[in-house]
Chains A and B, each alone.
Chain A
């Protein structure tokens, strides 16, 4: 420490120890006092600095020149500072004590030097150019990636938007069902006109009759609405506030002309591209809704009954966008399921049902391979192979019974006389032997009696 002279007396024991180690001074025994350390410190280090001051200073200067000026000399660092510096270089240092400090100091200086060698242009420049450039490139790449991702997202979002539109439509439909009860003029006219030629039932006629007088009134509303400045198509479809007012003015009849075609038409109009009008309409719809809820509720019930009656009359198969959307969605799933089917104009798919395996006389398309037989079945088969078939068994049994019967019959008839004769002769022979034995016994007994 050439810059500030430290009295070794004020240094801690561990610091003294580490200094001694750093100066390659042999440490005293572990139990020695601080005084010993101080003595050693004075003896070796201070002498060195005093004696070789110039050279030591030069060495220090060289060392400092070698290292980056910003980076502190590891020997001046505290234990914690040294540890932190090591951690900065990715080295997880253990406890920095007297015996380990020198090692860690050297390690840190090595790391610093290696860093310096790694960056021949200097740390600052390296920071300025190489590393940060890479980061910038990375950032640009990230940007590009994010751009492309954003594009992809937009691409992906389009169907999502469509679906969300569908959802919106759903929501709108849900929200503005009351709105549907208010007549849109064109629809009413169309409906009534459509109805008139058909003229099926009295109810239909009645409804058309009822709608007709309103037809005269509602165009006024339309004209007002269009004068307000809504888009023509939308305006025609949309019951604007004025129109709804008009409708309300028309009293309870206004909502009687509700029909599904109106709903369809309104949905179409709602689907139209301009968002502002959508919003406007939403607002109007909200107003209308409120009005409906306030004034027309009882009428709506009436309308419901009417519409229930006249549904078939008013229903026109003009596809609602809502339904179209639905169909498209269904189409997509169907296409996924059956990619090879052809699209038809009706949008209805006739797909061959997949054949059920072996059912209903259909040819079995897939036969399971013969599974390897279990050892027990193999054994059984072996046994069966050895056994004589049943019909042969029966045949043998019959033959045997026949043979036995024949033998029985023969025996009954004494036709087998030689056998019988032989048997008789045998029996006679045995009887003769019996007789001889009896004679012997009789001969013995008199002898015994004579002895007695």
Chain B
């Protein structure tokens, strides 16, 4: 599901660098705006949260839902994308 999306592939293909938070799979314009409002303006900030939650899926999904109100699919996309990126580049 998430692995098939173009956004996911593009994000996982290379180091995230200074990519904005909207480059994350599952994070569209609306969610990205909300995240930026909360201080998560870059993808690596979300990655930091992901890492500080010890890559725990449940906690990360909860956090994403709380912070930007992401639905289950968006949560899953974002989690899968970050997880795969970590597996590849961390």
Contacts and interface: CB of A to CB of B under 8 A. Distances in A.
Do A and B associate with each other? yes
Interface of A: 26-30, 94-95, 97, 99-100, 102-104, 106-107
Given A30-B45, A94-B52, A97-B52, A103 B38 contact: no
Contact of A103 (B41, B45, B62): B62
Interface residues of B, number: 14
29 contacts: A26-B37, A26-B38, A27-B39, A28-B39, A29-B39, A29-B41, A30-B39, A30-B45, A94-B52, A94-B53, A94-B54, A94-B56, A97-B52, A99-B49, A99-B52, A100-B49, A100-B53, A100-B59, A100-B63, A102-B66, A103-B53, A103-B59, A103-B62, A103-B63, A103-B66, A104-B59, A106-B62, A107-B59, A107-B62
Contacts of A95: 52
Interface string B14-48: 00000000000000000000000111010001000
Contacts of B38: 26-27
A414 to B, nearest CB: 106
B22 to A, nearest CB: 17
Given A30-B39, A107-B59, 19 more contacts: A26-B37, A26-B38, A29-B41, A30-B45, A94-B53, A94-B56, A94-B59, A99-B49, A99-B63, A100-B49, A100-B52, A100-B53, A103-B53, A103-B59, A103-B62, A103-B63, A103-B66, A106-B62, A107-B62
Interface of B: 37-39, 41, 45, 49, 52-54, 56, 59, 62-63, 66
Nearest to B63: A103
Nearest to B34: A26
A108 B89 CA distance: 32
A403 to B, nearest CB: 91
Contacts of B49: 99-100
Contacts of A103: 53, 59, 62-63, 66
Looking at chain B's contact residues, is the secondary structure mostly helix, strand, loop, or mixed? Answer: helix
Nearest to B48: A99
A97 B53 CA distance: 10
A102 to B, nearest CB: 7
Contacts of B41: 29
B40 to A, nearest CB: 9
Contacts of B54: 94
A97 B59 CA distance: 14
B55 to A, nearest CB: 9
A82 to B, nearest CB: 13
A26 B49 CA distance: 16
Contacts of B37: 26
Contacts of B52: 94-95, 97, 99-100
A268 B66 CA distance: 89
A113 to B, nearest CB: 15
Contacts of B62: 103, 106-107
A106 B59 CA distance: 10
A94 B57 CA distance: 13
B68 to A, nearest CB: 11
| 9 nearest CB pairs, A to B | A94-B54, A27-B39, A30-B39, A29-B39, A103-B59, A103-B63, A27-B38, A95-B52, A26-B38
A28 B40 CA distance: 10
Contacts of B56: 94
A30 B54 CA distance: 21
A248 B57 CA distance: 93
Contacts of B39: 27-30
B28 to A, nearest CB: 19
A28 B37 CA distance: 8
A30 B42 CA distance: 11
Contacts of A27: 38-39
B76 to A, nearest CB: 18
A102 B37 CA distance: 18
A29 B41 CA distance: 9
